[in-house]
Amino acid sequence: MDKLTVRDLDAAGKRVFVRVDFNVPLEDGKVTDDSRIRAAIPTIKYLQDQGAKVILASHLGRPDGKVSDRLRLRPVAERLSQLLGRTVPVTGDALGVGTEDALKRLRNGEVLLLENLRFHAAEEKNDPKFAEQLAAYCDVYVNDAFGTAHRAHASTVGIAKLRPAYAGLLMEKELANLGKLLDNPEHPFAAIIGGAKVSDKIKVLKHLLDKVDLMVIGGGMANTFLLAQGKPIGKSLAEPDRVEDARAILARAEEIGVKIILPVDVVVAKEVTRGTEYKTLSAEKVPASWHIVDLGKQSLTNIEAALADVRTVLWNGPLGVFEIPSFAHGTKALARFLAIRASEGAAVVIGGGDSVAAITQQGLADKMTHISTGGGASLEFLEGRELPGVTVLLDRKPETSA
């Protein structure tokens, strides 16, 4: 998926509308995780250095088309200003006379942040008039918000049809790293898929099965697969209506020679809460009234042994109830092991909120090959689906030989 990027753009003196993903967590009016803001800095600085007038736009939360003071972007602008070392003003609204005045005052190399786009219901409806109003602000459009590229909104698709539309540097990086997993991974290639539900990732599992050599299944998802194998799972989270899907995946994997790794021992707890009683048991012997909450030590050993010689790893989703510290050991241990594999030259790509959290909490982010900012967009991309916010960007024309 070869798209034109900001590197192909002569931005000097141009008004450049950049869709960023500043949907970050806030607490007491402060940004608690600035990783998405940091991820946009290379594109912003590149355009500044070119002498562009940079107009940033993002959503924050789900205000459902209404103004919400707690979802204003001022805290984001403050953090961005600190990171850029210069003040980035934020408008009072994405539209209106005040915003138009601020845009007229914008000089080459300066940055302006528009207020939360989703204060307008027209944004999520991809309303043509709203897209035209946004397009009137700029000469060129840049999408650097991979995390929203699976949404056909006014700021991701509508405006891109009205102005020359380029990929930002983060978008380029996401497409290159995730695209390589699907199109040209170095083998052996392993996918580690965790999280709560098979239904959320069934299409990813099926799409990746024909591309990987090895698949590790963990988290709540694994319980449905254990159920499919006739094993007891007690009161564990599972999806009985997806057991046939799990059986079909296991059968297909056996047919094409893909190794599937499931837990052989598990941590079980009386309740899925902090401070509850828990112990490690064989996956064959889960008591009827207990919950599977994490991997056991033997399961982790098996995973590490299987990953010892892989050249490419995709990890999406935790291996246990990650939000409870006592049940996060498997997920955190896997994060540490993958950092070692990355240091040995394996390509390690991480996606999914809890997987990323396990990496960042342990200070391992810079050890990995790529950490996706995508969330739902990453999953849809890995399912092999077209992302509307990517499709609409300008294609690079193939070079013709003389």
Q: Which of 38, 180, 197, 231 is catalytic?
A: 197
Q: What is the C-alpha separation between 387 and 362, in angstroms, rounded?
A: 32
197 is catalytic: yes
Phi, psi of 118 (to 5 degrees): -80, 5
220: left (phi over 0), alpha (psi -120 to 50) or beta: alpha
Q: Which of 36, 72, 118, 173 is catalytic?
A: 36
Q: What is the C-alpha separation between 48 and 59, in angstroms, rounded?
A: 22
376 is catalytic: yes
353 is catalytic: yes
Query: Residues 6 or more apart from 377 whose CB is under 8 A from it?
Result: 146, 147, 148, 149, 150, 387, 389
What does the block give as tokens for 292?
A: 């599977």
Q: Which of 336, 353, 384, 396 is catalytic?
A: 353
Check: CB of residue 347 under 8 Å from CB of residue 311: yes
Q: What is the C-alpha separation between 272 and 290, in angstroms, rounded?
A: 9
Paired with 281 in beta bridges are: 266
Check: CB of residue 18 under 8 Å from CB of residue 140: no
Q: What is the C-alpha separation between 158 and 228, in angstroms, rounded?
A: 44
Secondary element (H or E) of residue 81: helix 74-84
109 is catalytic: no
Q: What is the C-alpha separation between 319 and 186, in angstroms, rounded?
A: 24
First to last CA, the chain: 24
Cis ω for the linkage preceding 75 (within 30 of 0):
no
Q: Which of 51, 61, 109, 376 is catalytic?
A: 376
The 3-state DSSP class for residue 348 equals: strand
Secondary element (H or E) of residue 292: strand 291-295
Catalytic annotation, residues: 36, 197, 353, 376
